[in-house]
Structure 1
Amino acid sequence: MSYQALYRVFRSQSFEEVVGQKHVTTTLKNAIARNKISHAYLFNGPRGTGKTSIAKIFAKAINCTERHDGEPCNECASCISITNGTNSDVIEIDAASNNGVDEIRNIRDKVKYAPGESRYKVYIIDEVHMLTTGAFNALLKTLEEPPAHAIFILATTEPHKIPPTIISRCQRFDFKAISTPDIIDHLAYVCKKENIDFEQEALAFIAQSAEGGMRDALSILDQAIAFGDESLTLTHVLNVTGSVGKEELRQLTDLIIKHDVRGAFDLYHQLLSAGKEVNRLVNDLIYYLRDVIVDFATGERQDGLIYEVELSTIYEMIDKINDTLVSMRFAVNMNLHFEVLIVKLSELVKLKERVSGPAESIDHAYIDERFKAFEDKLAAVQLNPVAAAPSKPVRKETKAKNHFSMAQIETVLDNANREDLTYLKENWQSLIDHVKQNDQRALVSLMQNTEPVAASSTHILIKFDDDIHSDIVNKDEEKRQQIESIVYTIINKKVKMVGVPDSQWLQVRHDYIQNRKAQPAETPKKQDIVKTAEELFGKDTINMID
């Protein structure tokens, strides 16, 4: 006997053998067992999920002379003839090639004749959405008043193309994509039946590539087994599908994050030379980043520079990859699009590094300059209290206009660190949700459009979209303390909150960094300024203001 493909050899022959469609098989079994059989069914779902297989099992079950609990026996003459495709009362029609009105009229003329060897005549019309309008109209009359011995099973992957008048006369069953674990288990069962040595990683990759279709999974498995000479490894599957392994994807993302565009180009062309497909490479890259996001969520981080990138940046990387995938559908030269994608991803990472660089790398020399200027001012007052004029401050405070203190902002930035900021960002939405749940409307309006931009163990700097909200938080001690108490319940830290308006945050941050870089690295020994001021002017005349 000639060789049969695995998806034909292991086609389900009973409801019990069907994988991943329990909601369909249970309903049909119960209907058959209770003799509540409808005259028309619509099976809708993705390709390779068992629509036609279940239709044939259903045809066997309703015509089986020895069925038990709705299951066919697969041993009687009727079951064997339907399995072999020789039963004249089970008619399977491909609507993609027989979609005209004449073919449907032919069915309508013959359906009135009684079945020859079975109890029911079963018409299985596959890809029914391909029928023409005239064919649907011809089928409609038959579905309205079918003979008692006739049952129609319509199968489709695109139910939205079927007229509502047809759908309303059928019992509709929505098939779902088969889950990855179910596909892996079934592939392992097939390999054991065929005495094939396999790697679990290979089965997992096949299940992922099949995208919920068991027929696709079995076809890939069949091809990989032939490539590997009766054995199955992940390398065999990658070679057969033209996919890229996680190690190559890790190397590619490492080069992108290091901004080594030339190295990323070289690796990309090596993959092309090894027979990898560009479309498959783009999809594999998306799946790889998806796995990275899952690792972030579960805390199980692997090797690779991609785990040092912020999660928001990875989301933007996926968006750019998706945009490239859409553009490649209409592209003549897909290689060029992928090379441009490499540059875009590298520039995106570089931009994010520039905007949100680590706070601990900032030079602290600016504060020393301010101390020195104040000391010089005090010395001038001591030498000539009358003639000494107030010197121009190093940085102009914007307090009068915006009600935020540069000194307080600098206090946060001086001690800011990446760990506290990351933890605060991850829990910030919980804070806003907490305020909403407690119906604190005044605080909700304040916190709705906010974002933490710097944090330390004692202070947090919050950016407000509206300048007026920043002013309210900085001036209203009661509201600020309310928010600080809620922050304590969320992150379990007592911190002081400082607000900054979004319209001025970038300029404030830029000025802060530039002033740090402009000063020498060495920090001179600071004097006690308060004590010096008290000695100069007397303790009673000093008023400390934060």
Structure 2
Amino acid sequence: MAYQALYRKWRPRTFDSVVGQEDITNTLKNAIKRGTISHAFLFAGPRGTGKTSCAKIFAKALNCTNLQDGEPCNECANCLAADKGAMPDIMEIDAASNNGVDEIREIRDKVKYAPTQGKYKVYIIDEVHMLSMGAFNALLKTLEEPPEHVVFILATTELQKVPATIISRTQRYNFKRIAQADLEQRMKYILDQEQIKYEDKALAVIAQVADGGMRDALSILDQLLSYEKDTVNYDDALQITGFAAKEKIEEILLALLEKDAAKALTLAQAELQNGATSKNILDELIDMATNALLVVKADGQNKSNFLSADFVQQIATIPAQRYFQLIAAANDALNDLRYTNQQQIPLEVFLVASTNEQQSGAALPAAASSPAALTTGKNGDLQAEITALKKQVVDLTEKFSKLSSQPRSNSRDQVYHIDSASAPVKKTSQANSIVEKPKKKPRVRNTKRANEQNRKQVYHVLENATKHDLIALKDVWPDLQSVLSVSQRALLDVLQPVAASPDQVVMKCKYTLWFENASADDDFLTKLTSEIAKFTKHDYEIVLVPDEDWLKVRKDFLQTHGKELLAKKKEGASHEPAGESIETANDEVVQKAKDLFGDAVNIKD
């Protein structure tokens, strides 16, 4: 007969043989004895904790003809057929490979037929979270109101992926991880039945690696038996699992507590050469430090967790805060392992950092810090720095108030802004912005002089606007996104170049609020001017204008300069009167000209 893996050979056949899930098995047994069988069950929990085994035992018990206190007899024809997988009324479906709508529809069509051999037709759907949303929807109505002879048992390791509509139609049972002691006890029972010798320390290592999963524990045990068939010994368990010897971990922990980095590194490197992994060493150190902390706090109880005779005496005088530091630092190192291929480096960095005399207490949890400690040491210096910074803020605020009341001096290179209310001028020095950040100054509003100066500046751009300059600016516009910061890119998104002359460019802003933000952000304007010059190999001054004012400014310009510009067009000049219209035959400009000058206008291509 072919060899059968231990986890298959020793799969539980009764509820009493299921390990670590007594609450669930007792509930299922009582439901069978009392005849209160629900139509749908949902078994959820980590892998290898008995979900599928309980589903099979429950399905077998529902169809058993000779129940024994809620347990299947395992002797009747139905039980024997169920154990062999030949029971026609018990159907196991793997949702990972049968997750479509068609498979569920087939189940829905067949549930109406009565069972052929037993009392119930039982559908066990394993890994039910793998079903598609369409399959879940197809299952909903049948799952809620199936025929009286049908029972659904759904099993999943990822409950969060199961729709709430499915969960609400079932009785949910949450399987928990199996305790390490229960895992060891079950492995001892199996090895005794198989008449194989073993060491208790080896089984403890296997149980720790299994992390609460019985199937994982038996798989590792099976692997160990393949390595050495006659016995299960401690050294082989360490070799197969990649764990370090417990006594070596105790030595490393003592070296860390004594802040002996050289000894800790030497011991850890030796264990790595013997086959241990960095992750397992860190896991064992965390487990050992936690146990040591509990022993210190519990006045020396549970000393049997340690192998060294004098280990408890050596750690008795270590303060609890030291353990908190080690555990926090080890957890950080475990997290770093996920982001590097050099698995040894985070371990070595942890060993050196945790033995550093000047290690800060930042890694301590909040519970480990007392209120008195927060007012001593470096915190006193921190309070002094905060006081000094507050004073600097007050001084800068006073200086800013004084400077903002002084008149603004003009400079050679300027950026002009059109205010959304009355289009006044605001000038910012580009030359000075390289050396010193310009100060924000109040804008001049509702003055006739400022309005005239501003319109002259805008008209100057429109009079000399060219198609070539505007196309050049629009071509580099996407490139500007890659060199600006996130906040600056947000401002750039609401700006659009609408007219450009050989030395200036008019940009309209979509929203008044963003126009004000852009106008006040001298750093942004300086950066934008500089980047435009880099990409276009040409210097442009920037004129900002709100979108709502741009149409009025352009219309006024056409009214006052329309005839002159039309004359230039007839002569073949390359200037564009409305910068937003970069093509000669722009319909909008043509319509504007007709509105202004009537039928006297002749348009020639």
Q: TM-score, normalised by structure 1?
A: 0.63
- Pair 155,136 (structure 1): closer, same or farther in 2 beyond 3 Å: same
CA distance in 2, matches of 1:284, 1:228: 25
- Give 1:308 shift: 4.6
Query: Quick check: 1:122 aligned with 2:131?
Result: no
CA distance in 2, matches of 1:171, 1:254: 50
CA distance in 2, matches of 1:259, 1:29: 56
Q: Does the 8 Å CA contact 1:72/1:79 hold for their aligned counterparts?
A: yes
What does residue 6 of structure 2 align with?
6
- Give 1:116 shift: 2.4
What does residue 512 of structure 1 align with?
none
Query: Quick check: 1:322 aligned with 2:314?
Result: no
- Pair 329,35 (structure 1): closer, same or farther in 2 beyond 3 Å: same
Q: Does the 8 Å CA contact 1:313/1:352 hold for their aligned counterparts?
A: no
- Give 1:221 shift: 2.0
Query: Quick check: 1:334 aligned with 2:334?
Result: no
Give the 3-state SS of the residue equivalent to 2:98 in structure 1.
coil
- Give 1:129 shift: 1.2
CA distance in 2, matches of 1:501, 1:165: 55
Q: Does the 8 Å CA contact 2:259/2:354 hold for their aligned counterparts?
A: no
Q: Does the 8 Å CA contact 2:253/2:289 hold for their aligned counterparts?
A: no
Deviations 1:380-403 (A, max 9, x none): xxxxxxxxxxxxxxxxxxxxxxxx
| Letter matched to residue 299 of structure 2 | G
After TM superposition, the structure 1 stretch with the greater mean CA deviation from structure 2, 268-277 or 243-252, is 268-277
Q: Does the 8 Å CA contact 1:63/1:119 hold for their aligned counterparts?
A: yes
- Give 1:263 shift: 4.2
Deviations 1:375-424 (A, max 9, x none): xxxxxxxxxxxxxxxxxxxxxxxxxxxxxxxxxxxxxxxxxxxxxxxxxx
Q: Does the 8 Å CA contact 2:243/2:275 hold for their aligned counterparts?
A: no
What does residue 310 of structure 1 align with?
319
- Give 1:134 shift: 0.9
CA distance in 1, matches of 2:99, 2:280: 34
CA distance in 2, matches of 1:25, 1:2: 32
CA distance in 2, matches of 1:4, 1:295: 43
Q: Does the 8 Å CA contact 2:353/2:359 hold for their aligned counterparts?
A: no
| Letter matched to residue 95 of structure 1 | A
Q: Does the 8 Å CA contact 1:206/1:237 hold for their aligned counterparts?
A: yes
Give the 3-state SS of the residue equivalent to 2:275 in structure 1.
coil
- Pair 308,228 (structure 1): closer, same or farther in 2 beyond 3 Å: farther
Deviations 1:5-64 (A, max 9, x none): 111111110112111111111111111112111110001111111110010001110101
What does residue 74 of structure 1 align with?
74
Give the 3-state SS of the residue equivalent to 1:98 in structure 2.
coil
- Give 1:309 shift: 3.1
CA distance in 1, matches of 2:269, 2:378: 47
What does residue 280 of structure 1 align with?
280
Deviations 1:505-527 (A, max 9, x none): x99xxxxxxxxxxxxxxxxxxxx
After TM superposition, the structure 1 stretch with the greater mean CA deviation from structure 2, 308-317 or 298-307, is 298-307
Deviations 1:316-367 (A, max 9, x none): 11111111111211222222222211121111x55479xxxxxxxxxxxxxx
- Give 1:2 shift: 1.2
After TM superposition, the structure 1 stretch with the greater mean CA deviation from structure 2, 78-87 or 172-181, is 172-181
| Letter matched to residue 150 of structure 1 | V
Give the 3-state SS of the residue equivalent to 2:355 in structure 1.
helix
Deviations 1:97-149 (A, max 9, x none): 22222221222122222222222111111111121111111111211221222
Q: Does the 8 Å CA contact 1:41/1:170 hold for their aligned counterparts?
A: yes
Q: Does the 8 Å CA contact 1:99/1:131 hold for their aligned counterparts?
A: yes
- Give 1:174 shift: 1.2
- Pair 105,238 (structure 1): closer, same or farther in 2 beyond 3 Å: same
- Pair 204,297 (structure 1): closer, same or farther in 2 beyond 3 Å: farther
Query: Quick check: 1:238 aligned with 2:242?
Result: no
CA distance in 1, matches of 2:324, 2:94: 43
% same residue: 47
Q: TM-score, normalised by structure 2?
A: 0.57
| Letter matched to residue 352 of structure 2 | V
What does residue 525 of structure 1 align with?
none
What does residue 172 of structure 2 align with?
172
Deviations 1:228-276 (A, max 9, x none): 3321222222111110112221232344445443443343333222222
What does residue 90 of structure 2 align with?
90
Q: Does the 8 Å CA contact 2:290/2:323 hold for their aligned counterparts?
A: no
After TM superposition, the structure 1 stretch with the greater mean CA deviation from structure 2, 262-271 or 283-292, is 262-271
- Give 1:190 shift: 1.0
Give the 3-state SS of the residue equivalent to 2:183 in structure 1.
helix
What does residue 38 of structure 1 align with?
38
Query: Quick check: 1:187 aligned with 2:187?
Result: yes
- Pair 253,464 (structure 1): closer, same or farther in 2 beyond 3 Å: closer
Deviations 1:465-492 (A, max 9, x none): 59xxxxxxxxxxxxxxxxxxxxxxxxxx
CA distance in 1, matches of 2:83, 2:56: 8
CA distance in 1, matches of 2:127, 2:219: 20
| Letter matched to residue 238 of structure 1 | L
Q: Does the 8 Å CA contact 1:259/1:350 hold for their aligned counterparts?
A: no
Give the 3-state SS of the residue equivalent to 1:219 in structure 2.
helix
CA distance in 2, matches of 1:286, 1:158: 27
| Letter matched to residue 175 of structure 1 | F
CA distance in 1, matches of 2:349, 2:279: 14
Larger RCO (alpha carbons 8 Å, 6+ apart):
1
Give the 3-state SS of the residue equivalent to 1:153 in structure 2.
strand
CA distance in 1, matches of 2:226, 2:284: 23
CA distance in 2, matches of 1:250, 1:20: 30
CA distance in 1, matches of 2:297, 2:61: 47
| Letter matched to residue 133 of structure 1 | M
Give the 3-state SS of the residue equivalent to 2:123 in structure 1.
strand
What does residue 15 of structure 2 align with?
15
- Pair 223,346 (structure 1): closer, same or farther in 2 beyond 3 Å: same
Query: Quick check: 1:220 aligned with 2:220?
Result: yes
Query: Quick check: 1:53 aligned with 2:53?
Result: yes
After TM superposition, the structure 1 stretch with the greater mean CA deviation from structure 2, 263-272 or 280-289, is 263-272
| Letter matched to residue 131 of structure 1 | L
Give the gaps of 5 or more residues in structure 2.
Answer: 362-366, 385-605
Give the 3-state SS of the residue equivalent to 1:24 in structure 2.
helix
Q: Does the 8 Å CA contact 1:140/1:166 hold for their aligned counterparts?
A: yes
- Give 1:189 shift: 1.0
- Give 1:173 shift: 1.0
Deviations 1:69-90 (A, max 9, x none): 2111101111011111111221
Give the 3-state SS of the residue equivalent to 1:215 in structure 2.
helix
What does residue 388 of structure 1 align with?
none
What does residue 410 of structure 1 align with?
none
Q: Does the 8 Å CA contact 1:108/1:142 hold for their aligned counterparts?
A: yes
- Pair 345,176 (structure 1): closer, same or farther in 2 beyond 3 Å: same
Give the 3-state SS of the residue equivalent to 1:346 in structure 2.
coil
Give the gaps of 5 or more residues in structure 1.
Answer: 354-427, 430-447, 452-462, 467-499, 508-546
Q: Superposition pairs for residues 131-150 of structure 1, below 5 Å?
A: 131-150=131-150
Q: Does the 8 Å CA contact 1:184/1:203 hold for their aligned counterparts?
A: yes
- Pair 502,339 (structure 1): closer, same or farther in 2 beyond 3 Å: closer
What does residue 575 of structure 2 align with?
none
After TM superposition, the structure 1 stretch with the greater mean CA deviation from structure 2, 261-270 or 101-110, is 261-270
CA distance in 2, matches of 1:275, 1:59: 44
CA distance in 1, matches of 2:100, 2:317: 59
Q: Which has the larger radius of gyration?
A: 2
CA distance in 1, matches of 2:69, 2:265: 61
